[in-house]
Amino acid sequence: MIRTAMATREGTAADNADAARVYVLADGTVGAALVDGIGHGPRTSATAPLLAEAAARYTAHRGALAGLLSAALLVADTGADGDEANAVGVVAYTGWPGGIRVAWVGDCRAYGYDGHRLTQHSTDQTMGQWLRRYGPPVEIAAHYDDWVRVSLHSATVATTRELDIIEPLVILTSDGVHDQVPHDRLETLTRRHADDPQTLANALVAAAQPDDEGYRDDATAIVIHR
């Protein structure tokens, strides 16, 4: 039995550029997708739900990698006016025998919870994370965390990451959640609400607080409980 839940909250900038969708096949296979639009504005906020819907449906039918890349085709071209929307995203597929298969581009994240510990399984595809890997001081790398190295517009088989999560509880988040809520707080909320996916999704999104300048990003979460 698989239970799913979604929650989203608009940030302090106009128009929610996040979107989340879950699609369930007749045999119970679930495809879930979370998309975080790059920037804000009517075009981005209108395109993000389309990308999430396509990614969730394709993922349920064809698996995580195929689902994410199929949705990415919708924004692979800049458009006639050169101003097509772009986004990052993460998908989850429950039809994989080794666990829940996830695929992502950019800085959306996938976590697994085993009943005791919340583990971040994805790795942000940002310049900040790349710099941390190769040695510059952490305070320098942090300045580049908003520089996304791979997006849906540029996603390929080679640049899209995927892995299996074996824990029974999987959480997908946009950076409006994990960038503004410390990991220990995420873990505490997960432990407290692990048996109620919708309450957990709501709590994760509600926990995001404004930064020192009063800015709070759009925050979105999907919870999948096997």
pLDDT confidence of 215, banded at 50, 70, 90?
A: confident
**Surface-to-core class of residue 2, CB atoms within 10 Å of its CB (0-12 exposed, 13-18 middle, 19+ buried):** middle
CB 183: neighbour CB atoms within 10 A?
12
Mean pLDDT of 171-200: 97
Spatial CA neighbour of 42 closest among 15, 19, 18: 15
Q: Distance between CA 45 and CA 38 in Å, rounded?
A: 10
pLDDT score, position 13: 84
Give pTM, 2 decimals. 0.93
Res. 62: pLDDT tops 90: yes
Q: By C-alpha distance, which of 50, 6, 9 is closest to 177?
A: 9
Please list, in sequence order, all residues whose beta carbon lies within 8 angstroms of the beta carbon of residue 211, skipping any fewer than 6 positions away: 180
How many structural domains does the chain have? 1
Strand blocks (E) in the chain: 3-9, 18-24, 30-37, 87-93, 100-105, 109-113, 118-120, 161-165, 169-173, 219-225
Q: For 128-173, what is each residue's pLDDT tens digit?
A: 576 667 776 666 666 666 767 889 999 999 999 999 999 999 999 9
User: In the prediction, which pLDDT does 139 show?
Assistant: 67
The mean-pLDDT minimum among 72-76, 123-127, 202-206 falls in 123-127
CATH code, 166: 3.60.40.10
Please tell me the total number of residues recorded for the chain in this structure: 226
pLDDT at 134 (0 to 100)? 74
Domain of 96, in residue numbers: 3-225
User: What tens digit of pLDDT does each residue of 74-110 get?
Assistant: 999 988 888 889 999 999 999 988 799 999 999 999 9
b/e map 123-142, b = 16+ CB within 10 Å: ebbbbbbbbbeeeeeeeebe
Among 197, 203, 190, which Cα is nearest to 226's? 197
Based on its alpha-carbon atoms, the radius of gyration of the chain, rounded to whole angstroms, reads 16
Residue range 14-61, pLDDT digits in tens: 789 999 999 999 999 999 999 999 988 788 999 999 999 999 999 999
Please tell me the distance from the alpha carbon of residue 157 to that of residue 162, in angstroms, as a whole number: 10
